[in-house]
Structure 1
Amino acid sequence: MMNEHQQKLTQYLVAFIEELVGNGVDEVVISPGSRSTPLALLFAHHPGVKTYTNVDERSAAFFGLGIAKSKKKPVAILCSSGTAGANYYPAVIEARYGKVPLIVLTADRPHELREVGAPQAINQIDLYGKHVKWSIDMALPESIPSMVQYARSSAARGVSISIGYPEGPVHYNFPFREPLIPDLKQVEFTTGQSGKRVLQGNRQLPADIQHDLQEQIMNSKRGIVVCGPGISEEAVQSITEFAEAYALPILADPLSFVRSGGHSKENIMDCYDTVLRIDECKEALQPDLVIRFGAMPVSKALMLFLKSLPDIPTWVVSKGEEWQDPTARGTHYIQCEENLFCQGFMKNSAHSDREWLDHWKGVNDQAKGLLIQGHQAWDEGMAVHQLIQHLPEGATLFSSNSMPIRDLDTFLFTDDRSLRIFANRGANGIDGVVSTALGMSTGSKPMYLLIGDLAFFHDLNGLLTARKYQLDMTIVVMNNNGGGIFSYLPQAGDQTHFEDLFGTPMDLEFGHAAKLYGAHYFHVASQSEFIPALQEADQTKGIKIIEVITNREENVANHRKLWNFVSREMTQNMKGEWHDSSSE
């Protein structure tokens, strides 16, 4: 028989968990601890919940974030009291700015043990500040009907807020008194639909606003579409059809899902980052209308180009109220679901003048040919290009930030394969990259990770989860012995303290780390070794680490040499009508 305390604890938490599961939260990443025992035991006891355990809270949170990104659903993470929850912070921030639904559950001391010097107790109220969409300090468990309903309503409310656009994290802080053991023998979870369902619709523009915007497009002579991270994969077809109907070039970020897949890629410009580094091209390609979907793309050259434009109509299309305008050039902030926005313009569309679009295509094709022609040296860019070509149909590639995502931007050309490219671009950090990719591997196969040596070292602990759950992923580590991205920044010009503060060489190779975590290891020191390593990794189950040894200084020199070659050739080949057509 349950004692009174067990009854209150068990019934209250069973109700909470049932509502979470009924609203789609059926995967939980648990970091072991004492105070979180009631929730941990009940989640593990629920027949419809998949649980993972990860002793490192920072890794656990990013692992949960990866599951949520891959499966497009809210995922819960659970930890004990004290600094355990503080280790969630980087992933919570990434979830907030990356628009990932994350249900954060922290256990806490009861109110009488707060601020009195009790061990493993910190102030956990509003622990994550404005980095969560909603936070609640839950009431102590009670089993009276009104409190059971409170637990259910709180669960449904949190899920609703988390999946409402823009998606993001919510935080539940649970105070528990001892004893912390629920009576599992008396627990019977109900299955099926939740008693409180969260149903959400899509936003559509009113007809009069749609008509006014359509007139602006029809009057435009040189419009462009910019696609950044965060676009729903379901909207890609509609966006490409919309661009085709109005003869608009699409400048597609590698994380936009637009560069690859079965949709038409006739209008997609995949070399704009290279093109917009060239002054003559920037002058010739100035638009009179910008329509942007998703967040700002990775390309700094595109960012500077958009900021330099004169005052022209710039539409920022978003599903919700988020403000995504780092250039401060927006003139219309259009809150509408991307599919519905594009479909609304397909009626009575007619745009016969394709000169502007053909002009963009010619420039883009020339840049692509020169990039391929001029990139002959074996370096990180070449390795990334070969990795992309090697990816099988349906593969998912997760990219670290800094140089890997920029090399992807340069060398990911349009492709009919269905490739899914992801990165943590909410806060653009390098923490938790391994764990996020491993979380994605639970729902995305085959799975690849492209990462630098610093980011890999920063999250080596994530590999423990891979071994525990026998996850399958190929990791390509670009080891240039330090932070390669800093070599492209102004501080590289003064070498007085550069290596110590920015280059940060670690003088590490990762063969021993692979052995520690039971991973298969491949050491690649030359171009001839890379493709065979990828091929062997594809035939091997588990975690495969391909460490590609590169040289930072050579990488920088090769990249700059390539960009200078493309710029010189394109400038020489430019025809006078480029300027004439752009000024008409």
Structure 2
Amino acid sequence: MRYSSIPTAQSVILHCKAKGVKDIVISPGSRNAPLTIGFTEDPYFKCYSVVDERCAAFFALGIAQNTGKIVAVVCTSGSAMLNYYPAVAEAFYSDIPLLVISADRPSYRIDIGDGQTIRQENVFKNHIGYQANLKQDVSHATTTIQKFGEQLLSAKKTVEEQQKDINTFNSAELQNAIDYAVNEYAPVHINVPLEEPLYNTEEYSCVYPTVKEEEETIPESCSKLDDFASIWNTSTRKMILVGVNKPNVVEQQFLDEVAEDESVIVFTETTSNIHHSTFFNSIDSILAPIEKSENKEELFTALKPDVLLTFGGLIVSKKIKHFLRTYKPKHHWHIDGKKAYNTFYSLSHHFKVDTNTFFNAFLDKTKFVDSTYYAKWSKVKLNYEEKREAYLKTIPFSDMLAFSQILPSIPDGYQVHLSNSSTVRYAQLFPLKNTLKVYCNRGTSGIDGSTSTAVGASIYNKKPTLLVTGDLSFLYDSNALWNNYVKPNFRIIVINNSGGGIFRILPGQEETENYKTYFETAHNLEIENLCNMYNVDYKLANDENTLNQHLEDFYKESDKAILLEVKTPRIINNKILLSYFDFIS
């Protein structure tokens, strides 16, 4: 086994190993060679080579999202590291432990006109959990430092003494950074200045960092709930709204108990991975008809909760946000062990525990309340479900009809990744099987990185992975397929409406050349050509019959990944969606 001859590079590798950081996503480069050597030479690590840094970071995020464990990304100096930023921001808002390790030039090489030298320290400062700016070794390339970076050397200490201090400082920073990522489920950044020569190696390590043992954590508890239970037990209208959740996080027994209370309605999103026959899984189908109603004020007032209880991550539905911001609940309580966003400008309490801990303590103190709240809105739910089925029989082939065919076709147990924009919003309109595990990058809700995230998430997933995405999101992240880790059971469905179809739904769209070019971004790109380049099997559906035919074979075992392109008309999709809300009204 070989080690880099640079002490700090050795220290980074040894700390990662000691802390159980096993998955390392490396983008090729020169300045990060000492780190690459260290990780790839040690069989403990599972290393991946992903050239495009933006894809690499989302690929790593997908692994971490799926496993819940910290994953490292390693890149060279300069602009390479800036390509990590979209995934870093997503990890920051989605509480995903991402370890960003960037190689850097020595401080005396910055701002002198050298290539690939930027100010890397603290570059992620607004969207990072912890920043560790390591110190440059002085025992390595000492002659060069004496010539160009004399300010790094101390007149009061020998090089050996100073190097010992540097080792101690770097070791402490590495410990703090990795511990923070693990304990806080957050991205952290470790910046590593490295001087040439970069490729020299030795058989034995020259640093022996002290790694502190993890302190035993005290189990969370939830006390002083009597006052909250009193409010709950005297309220006849209680709404539970569930955002992004990992699959199988919340114990079903608590959900079943909540479902029995007539004074409670539970709104879930596709990304919540929460299921019960009495829950409302298409929020917009409740709210859109009210918006169009002549007596909307009366209906919205009847829906307005006394108590709003939320848990999970960010909310997709704009309509529920608008409703709760306009018709604010008297009490808004949020359950989360880390943070609580004041999404509806009415947050009154943050229960800083996990959801199961809260329900385990709280539900014993609650009682069922006589109320017509659930019964009233359950009738509305049954009505729109019946009308939705009737509406689907009246519409031509379109985005909405395609989703109504695709979502029920997904086999049990699949891991399903949804891209943002139109895809996740269409998925919100239909129920999904409770055996599916649904993911979507809702931290920043960007279209960048959806494919890369899904590919990364598939690595450790025994069941197949399906990505459902729009054409712009797929094309934007097409380099996601530029690696050797796309599994044969990986499936992609691209809904291609030849542009950013969601902009046709938003207010202000006009049928002009400027609109088509700068908002909708209409295009005629051939996705089949990308499939040929990346050795992915390609299928095309452009009507209801061919889609059904392809879906019959699409999920069967194969020798390589398969992409199914579903071409829908560019012009009519928005009219069909908006007419749906008119129809169920």
TM-score by length of 1: 0.88
Paired residue secondary structure (2:468): strand
Task: State the match for 2:214 in structure 1.
Answer: 197
Say if 2:474 is the partner of 1:456.
yes
Kindly indicate whether the alpha-carbon contact (under 8 Å) linking 1:19 and 1:196 is maintained by their aligned counterparts in 2. no
Q: State whether residues 101 and 192 of structure 2, in contact with CA within 8 Å, keep that contact through their aligned partners in structure 1.
A: yes
Q: Deviations over 1:42-81 (max 9, x none)?
A: 1111222111001111111111111111111111000001
Percent sequence identity over aligned pairs: 27
1:227: which partner in 2?
A: 242
Native 8 Å contact 1:16 1:154 kept in 2: no
Give the 3-state SS of the residue equivalent to 1:212 in structure 2: helix
Give the deviation of 1:250 after TM superposition. Answer: 1.0
Aligned residues: 549
Counterpart check, 1:295 vs 2:313: yes
What is residue 331 of structure 1 aligned with on the other side?
Answer: 348
Kept after mapping to 2: 8 A contact 1:448/1:475: yes
Give the alignment partner of residue 130 of structure 1, picking from 103, 126, 129. Answer: 126
In the alignment, does 2:415 pair up with 1:396?
Answer: yes
Conserved 8 A contact 1:132-1:169? yes
Which sits farther off after the overlay, 427-436 or 196-205? 196-205
Q: What is the aligned counterpart of 2:189 among 142, 152, 171?
A: 171
Within the candidate set 33, 43, 46, 1:47 is matched to 43
| Shift, 1:233, TM fit | 3.5
Q: Is the 8 A contact 1:45 1:184 kept in 2?
A: no
Cα distance between partner residues in 1 of 2:45 and 2:371? 54
- The correspondence for 2:88, drawn from 89, 92, 101, is 92
Residue type of the partner of 1:272?
Answer: I
Matches within 5 A, 1:73-472: 73-141=69-137, 147-165=166-184, 167-186=185-204, 195-197=212-214, 199-206=216-223, 208=224, 210-230=225-245, 233-237=248-252, 239-244=254-259, 246-247=261-262, 248-259=264-275, 265-279=276-290, 280=296, 281-320=299-338, 322-351=339-368, 353=370, 355-376=372-393, 377=395, 378-413=397-432, 415=433, 417-444=434-461, 445-465=463-483, 467=484, 470=487, 472=489
Pick from 551, 573, 581 the counterpart of residue 569 of structure 2.
Answer: 551
Shift of 1:350: 2.3
Determine the C-alpha separation between the residues in 2 that align with 1:529 and 1:517. 24
**Which digits, 9 at most, give the CA deviation of each residue in 1:189-235, with x for residues without a partner?**
99xx96532654554332x2x11111111011010100011467422
SS at match of 1:234: coil
Query: What is the CA distance between 1:271 and its match in structure 2?
Result: 2.5
The one-letter code of the counterpart of 2:489 is D
Change (3 A) 1:20 1:316: same
1:326, CA displacement in angstroms? Answer: 2.4
Relative to structure 1, the CA distance from residue 287 to residue 184 in structure 2 (aligned partners, 3 Å threshold; closer, same or farther) is same
Cα 1:391–1:67 shift into 2, 3 Å: same
Tell me the distance in 1 between the aligned counterparts of 2:430 and 2:10: 51
Superposition CA RMSD, Å: 2.5
| C-alpha separation in 2, matches of 1:403 and 1:357 | 30
> Conserved in 2, the CA contact under 8 Å of 1:79 and 1:85?
yes
Return the alpha-carbon distance in structure 1 between the equivalents of residues 340 and 169 of structure 2: 33
**Aligned residue among 23, 39, 64 for 2:19:** 23
CA distance in 1, matches of 2:509, 2:188: 40
Amino acid at match of 1:224: M
Moved more, 62-71 or 349-358: 349-358
Give the 3 Å change call, closer, same or farther, for CA 510–199 of structure 1 in structure 2.
farther
1:469, CA displacement in angstroms?
A: 5.3
- Counterparts of 2:312 and 2:421, CA distance in 1: 20
The equivalent position to 1:511 in structure 2, one of 520, 525, 528, is 528
C-alpha contact (below 8 Å) 1:245/1:350 kept by paired residues: no
CA contact (8 A) 1:97 1:426 kept: yes
Residue number in structure 1 paired with 2:156: none
Contact 2:229/2:365 (8 A) holds in 1: no
CA contact (8 A) 1:21 1:194 kept: no
> Residue 107 and residue 296 in structure 1: after superposition, are their counterparts in 2 closer, same or farther (change >3 A)?
closer
TM-score by length of 2: 0.88
Q: Give a deviation string over 1:527-576, Cα, whole Å, max 9, x none.
A: 11113323323222322110100013221121122211101xxxxxxxxx
Q: Where does the alignment leave 5 or more consecutive residues of structure 1 unmatched? A: 260-264, 568-584
Q: Is residue 271–residue 368 contact of structure 1 (8 Å, CA) maintained in 2?
A: no
Name which of 55, 60, 72 aligns with 1:59. Answer: 55
Partner of 1:580: none
Change in CA separation of 1:214 and 1:31 when aligned onto 2, cut-off 3 Å: same
How far apart are residue 313 of structure 1 and its match? 1.1
Q: Give a deviation string over 1:362-421, Cα, whole Å, max 9, x none.
A: 2212221211221123221222222221111211111111110001101135x3x42111
2:545 is paired with a residue of what secondary structure? helix
Of 498-507 and 361-370, more deviation after overlay is shown by 361-370
CA distance in 2, matches of 1:6, 1:274: 59
